Chain A
Amino acid sequence: MTATIQSPRSGKIQPKYRRTGGSRGNFEMLAWLFMRLSGVVLVVLIFGHLTVNLLVGEGIHAINFGFVAGKWADPFWQFWDLAMLWLAMLHGTNGVRTIINDYAEKDATRLWLKIVLYAATTVIIVLGTLVIFTFNPCPVANGVQLPGGFCPAP
């Protein structure tokens, strides 16, 4: 058995550890900052949301289609839920992005997981925003009111 003894190391680094570098920008700093700020705002938004929905008045028993419709008729709650949607989605997405970055072992895996993540985030944010602003509790199609027991008869 032959063994080759390598020449002494001098600043030789295995390729795995070599930093590819090139990322001068502040993206990671801003992402870090966003996590802190959105986290604080989300605590207020989510506990406000839970209090109003589950504790105030009749509490959990009052929640139904009409309750949600009533809330979204008010621009204040529209804005509240919109902020909650966007902040929670971006906060969560950034967290999962970090986890993917840390745990994905292959670059291809990392890329695909992130594509799936960003696609899902985009769909949910767009759809959610659309619902908050275009929500109509009494939809009418072709002059006929769609079924649902919450709207007064025309």
Chain B
Amino acid sequence: MSAELAEPASKIELPAGVGGGGEIPSFDVTLRVRRYNPEVSEDATWDDFKVTMYGTDRVLDALHKIKWEMDGSVSFRRSCAHGVCGSDAMRINGRNRLACKTLLKDLDTSKPITVEPIKGLPVEKDLIVDMEPFFQSFREVMPFLINRGHEPTKERLQSAEDRERFDDTTKCILCAACTSSCPVFWTDGQYFGPAAIVNAHRFIFDSRDDAGDMRLEILNDKEGVWRCRTTFNCTEACPRGIQVTQAIAEVKQAILSRKI
């Protein structure tokens, strides 16, 4: 490592005490990362990494520091690193969160912070899981607009109230934090999972969409909405704050009111 460089002097003259957030406190924190490499061993193990981090750092920054400066073999997914792409969902201190949205200072830094892959999906290496079963369920609910009317020459208009109806479920970033926090999904991986239902909800309640009935029929499956036990794990896990369990309940009611 090179010696720390001094910051260049500011070109703007500021009175003392104005500007800047002051010194950012640093602290030592231990990350306990779940390691798994099928080419070396069938068993997963824990590796501890002690890093010095700052109050503005997130779990993702700590993982970067580990990967870039300590052990390059640590594997995890991340893309945008700003809570939008949904690549870095992982189980941090036993809760599903996005590593890029979890500040280290918000966790208990006196104890090692555990970082595991999300549960219920096959682990490929370290923190990377096979997302294919998750995306298959997503594809099965047909997450795209189906409109049987004539192709309009301009945009399809919708009232603000109609848009509001499904606003919450448009926020999904497909990070799989909800589905992989669901105890029903953990049991056998057959359940469609909260994320697929949320994305079905987004179109079922869209006034411009005509295939709501088809989607409701798909989710009336024995592995569909009726496997939801309303444990609210998904709502708690969602990094976007979507009321997932409520969305599932609304889909249940839509199926009921269509059948009865």
Binding site for B on A (CB under 8 A): 1, 3, 9, 11-14, 16-17, 19, 21, 23-24, 26-29, 31-33, 98, 102-103, 105
- Chain A hits for B189, CB < 8 A: 16-17
Q: Give Cα distance in the complex from A28 to B39, angstroms.
A: 42
Closest CB of chain B to A56's CB: distance in Å?
Answer: 36
The 9 closest A-B pairs by CB, nearest first: A17-B133, A28-B226, A23-B222, A17-B189, A28-B222, A32-B226, A102-B187, A3-B39, A13-B132
Given A19-B223, A29-B226, A31-B226, do A103 and B132 touch, yes or no (CB 8 Å)?
A: no
- Chain B hits for A24, CB < 8 A: 217, 220-221
* Contact, CB under 8 Å: A26 / B190: no
Closest CB of chain A to B183's CB: distance in Å?
Answer: 8
Contact with A along B176-207 (1 / 0, CB 8 A): 00000001100111100000000000000000
* Contact, CB under 8 Å: B132 / A11: yes
Given A24-B221, A32-B252, do A14 and B122 touch, yes or no (CB 8 Å)?
A: yes
Q: Is the interface of A mostly helix, strand, loop or mixed?
A: loop
Closest CB of chain B to A122's CB: distance in Å?
Answer: 23
* Contact, CB under 8 Å: B190 / A19: yes
Number of interface residues of B (CB under 8 A): 25
Given A3-B39, A102-B184, A102-B187, do A14 and B255 touch, yes or no (CB 8 Å)?
A: no
* Contact, CB under 8 Å: B221 / A12: no
Contact with A along B215-232 (1 / 0, CB 8 A): 001001111101101000
- Chain A hits for B133, CB < 8 A: 13-14, 17
Q: Give Cα distance in the complex from A33 to B224, angstroms.
A: 15
Interface residue B73 (Cβ < 8 Å from any Cβ of A): no
Q: Give Cα distance in the complex from A24 to B226, angstroms.
A: 13
- Chain B hits for A29, CB < 8 A: 220, 226, 255-256, 259
Give 30 A-B contacts (CB < 8 Å), ordered by A residue: A9-B130, A9-B132, A11-B132, A11-B136, A14-B122, A14-B132, A14-B133, A16-B189, A17-B133, A17-B189, A19-B190, A19-B223, A21-B221, A23-B222, A23-B223, A24-B220, A24-B221, A26-B220, A28-B220, A28-B221, A28-B222, A28-B224, A29-B220, A29-B226, A29-B255, A29-B259, A102-B183, A102-B184, A103-B187, A105-B188
